[in-house]
Structure 1
């Protein structure tokens, strides 16, 4: 799975962004035998709190893609996010829209490594954790990262999304 093109794209994006974990080393991909399609499943597999999982959710925002990296401990308040961004319409994207904008399947969408940049919001609730886990481009792969690094490598905007 480490050789999957999506995983390689995420790893390359992390290396190009000079991402570092809390220990100061490049993030290492963790590969599971089975996909971890939910925050609860990923947290259980890793032995961490569900809030440490950065769910990568793609929304259709007035026809454009919007990536919201939210804590697995709660749901995105779409009305609140739409209002804060001045959007007329914000809704969950369908699988085809997600793949078209990220090149990745739902359940494995990474915060980066997409064919072109996607506007990104990063949930401020993730800041409380010294280590966050994000998808690596496919549902079987995750990687650790800090909140500060997640903001930096994605060019995301810190936002209260719940």
Structure 2
């Protein structure tokens, strides 16, 4: 009888990165359960400029779930996101839909290793940074990754979708 291969340990994001052969730095911190601004908490706890910490937002573009990855220091430009994927209208998805589609809990949604692979748009300014920080798939866990590696593992397209 053949033995089953051991399942890699970690979040779905870390498993997907390992399977893709992409090496990243993983940063854990103590998440405060009372904190609701997860991206700002990550920047503060990790001592990183908020311009390098990116949030993953699940949206609906003409009704189709789409992921936007933008710096926590800015805001998502919904009109620019819709334009980037050839749509007309974008809006934030309800939290329960975002959690159901990605398999992650709000505040820990990663663009990598989602339950349902969604079209992903990454703020084009990410390519100007040596690395960015994104959620590792749970609150209190961030992944430091290059924009190119993030795009390779998610199929993300670059577009100017963030505003101050």
User: TM-score, length-normalised on structure 2?
Assistant: 0.84
Q: Which has the higher strand share?
A: 2
Determine if contact 2:131/2:146 at 8 Å carries over to the other structure: yes
In structure 2, the CA distance between the partners of 1:39 and 1:8, relative to structure 1 (3 Å rule), is closer
Alignment of 1:88-103 (within 5 A): 88-103=88-103
- TM-superposed CA distance for 1:27, in Å, is 1.9
Residue 13 (structure 1) aligned with residue 10 (structure 2): no
Moved more, 141-150 or 37-46: 37-46
Counterpart for residue 47 of structure 2:
47
The answer for the alignment partner of 2:28 in structure 1 is 31
What's the CA shift string for 1:29-73, capped at 9, x where partnerless? Answer: 322221574322111111111010121010012222100111222
Report the secondary structure of 2:138's partner residue. Answer: coil
8 Å Cα contact 1:104/1:138 also seen in 2? yes
Q: Are the equivalent residues in 1 in contact too, given 2:11–2:138 (CA < 8 A)?
A: no
Unpaired runs of 5+ residues, structure 1, are 1-5, 20-25
Greater helix share, structure number: 1
Aligned Cα RMSD in Å? Answer: 2.0
The alignment of Structure 1 onto Structure 2 pairs a total of residues equal to: 152
- Aligned-pair distance for 1:125? 1.5
- 1:16 and 1:117 mapped to 2: Cα distance? 16
What is aligned with 2:66? 66
Q: Is the 8 A contact 2:55 2:71 kept in 1?
A: yes
TM-score (normalised: structure 1): 0.85
Which has the larger Rg?
A: 2
1:52 and 1:132 in contact (8 A); partners too:
yes
